[in-house]
């Protein structure tokens, strides 16, 4: 705007503001239908991990699905768990989880889930509980050999998301990780 055209510019601004106020769009609010599994569906989901019953992949997948359903952990919480977070209290295995708002809570684990977590610890030692597993001939960068698999340092949140989708498809359900947390609740 210049002193010569200030009136014209100001008039256009007033018109634009009036036009913006006069146009209203009422969009209906959508509501996501929450998903949770029945106990039968959850058992079927976990049973799919037994395809290779004694494999590291099956055990790792059981632990991942169990932490989110039995432990009601968020995806981000599950991938950040380390063996140092595993404690024994009053004869039960618990994991100490740092969740939203940096709040720490203790989550009691089922005996079966505890057994699978300890099995994984025997296989690859300390550090992260959930780790990526690859079956390749050449060693990927940052991976170490355990049996016929390469084991990475820590599973990513996206890999865990993909794992839940994969197992959901196996039982004919369109699942997301939070659906398992909801199922546990």
Would you write out the chain's pLDDT as a tens digit for each of its 185 residues? 788 889 998 999 999 888 888 887 777 777 767 788 999 999 999 999 987 655 889 999 999 999 999 999 999 999 999 999 999 999 999 999 988 888 999 999 999 999 999 999 999 888 899 999 998 889 999 899 998 899 999 999 999 999 999 999 999 999 999 999 999 88
Chain Cα centroid distance, residue 35? 15
Q: Which residue has the tokens 């203790």?
A: 106
Give residue 111's pLDDT.
94
The two three-digit tokens of residue 137, written as one number: 């001939």
* pTM for the whole structure: 0.80
- Strands (E) located in the chain: 86-89, 92-98, 104-108, 133-134, 144-146, 149-151
Q: Which residue has the tokens 């200030």?
A: 6
pLDDT value of residue 54: 56
Please measure the distance between the N-terminal and C-terminal CA atoms of the chain and give it in whole angstroms: 61
Q: What is residue 1's predicted lDDT score, i.e. its pLDDT?
A: 77
pLDDT value, residue 53: 53
């Amino acid at each position: 705007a210049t002193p010569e055209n200030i009136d014209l510019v100001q008039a256009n601004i007033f018109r634009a503001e009036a036009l913006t106020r006069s146009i209203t769009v009422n969009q209906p609010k959508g509501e996501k239908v929450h998903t949770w599994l029945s106990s039968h569906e959850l058992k079927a989901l976990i049973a799919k991990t037994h395809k290779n019953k004694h494999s590291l992949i099956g055990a790792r997948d059981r632990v991942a699905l169990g932490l989110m359903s039995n432990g009601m952990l968020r995806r981000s919480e599950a991938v950040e768990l380390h063996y140092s977070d595993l404690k024994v209290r009053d004869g039960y295995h618990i994991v100490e989880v740092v969740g939203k708002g940096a709040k720490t809570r203790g989550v009691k684990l089922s005996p079966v889930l505890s057994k699978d977590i300890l099995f994984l610890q025997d296989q690859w030692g300390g550090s992260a509980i959930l780790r990526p597993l690859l079956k390749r001939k050449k060693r990927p960068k940052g991976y170490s050999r355990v049996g016929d698999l390469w084991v990475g340092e820590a599973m990513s949140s996206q890999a865990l998301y993909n794992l839940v989708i994969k197992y959901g498809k196996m039982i004919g359900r369109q699942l997301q990780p939070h659906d398992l947390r909801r199922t546990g609740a």
